[in-house]
Homo-oligomer: A and B are copies of this chain.
Amino acid sequence: MSNTKPENTRKTDYKINSIFVNRWSPRSMTGEEISDDDLMSLFEAARWSPSSFNNQPWRFIYSKRTGSEWSKFLDLLNEGNRIWAKEAGVLVVIISRKNFEYNEKPSITHQFDAGAAWKNLALEASIRGIVAHGMQ
């Protein structure tokens, strides 16, 4: 699950923190198990993301590769992604709640907010040397 950091070859036009440059989306995964500590810290990072009315509309559904539901998660992927994603330590489905919890009215930012939360997760992963690769 450890990645080779590409920072030596990536140049930015303006100076930014290296965490944004070091994060990338490799397709080469080791199949190494992810610890609960690591996994919960990824979700914790996501949880600290801001959202409209602090509604926190994101939901994460996951299976580790050792889990009983693993094959169901793999089946959600298209063939092109399944080839490399089957070597992941965990697969996570991200969904978001369309209505605000406090009044059930539609939120226009639930997808935007979920994307922001996922970015926290991906950056926390990168900081830990864990590969995170988004798929639609």
Q: Which residues of A contact B (CB under 8 A)?
A: 12-17, 19-21, 23-25, 37, 40-41, 43-45, 48-50, 52, 108-109, 111-120, 122-124, 127, 134, 136
Contact = CB atoms under 8 A, between A and B. Distances in A.
Number of copies: 2
A21 B48 CA distance: 7
B116 A17 contact: no
Contacts of A12: 44, 48
Nearest to A112: B115
Contacts of A109: 111, 115, 136
Contacts of A44: 12-16
A136 B45 contact: no
